[in-house]
């Protein structure tokens, strides 16, 4: 089994998403760009 660690930005996103339940706000809080934000929100 290969274990991958999250980047700092990914961890910030995950923490904010768990806290708020809002993927858009979590991505903004984590510092993702608008383009990255659109991709992240589509995946959640």
Place of tokens 């991958």: 4
Contact 16, 26 (CB under 8 A): yes
Statement: residue 43 has pLDDT above 80: no
| DSSP helix/strand/coil, 22 | coil
What is the predicted pLDDT for the residue at 44?
Answer: 61
The structural domains of the chain, with segments of one domain joined by +, span 8-43
Q: How many helices (H) and strands (E) does the chain have?
A: 3, 0
- pLDDT for 1-14, tens place per residue? 788 899 999 999 99
Q: What is the CA radius of gyration of the chain?
A: 11
Q: What is the largest CA-CA distance in the chain?
A: 34
Reading the block at residue 1, the tokens are: 């089994």
- pLDDT for 16-34, tens place per residue? 999 999 988 998 999 999 8
């Amino acid at each position: 089994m290969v274990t991958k660690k999250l980047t700092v930005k990914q961890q910030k996103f995950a923490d904010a998403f768990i806290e708020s339940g809002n993927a858009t706000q979590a991505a903004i809080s984590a510092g993702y760009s608008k383009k990255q934000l659109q991709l992240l929100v589509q995946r959640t």
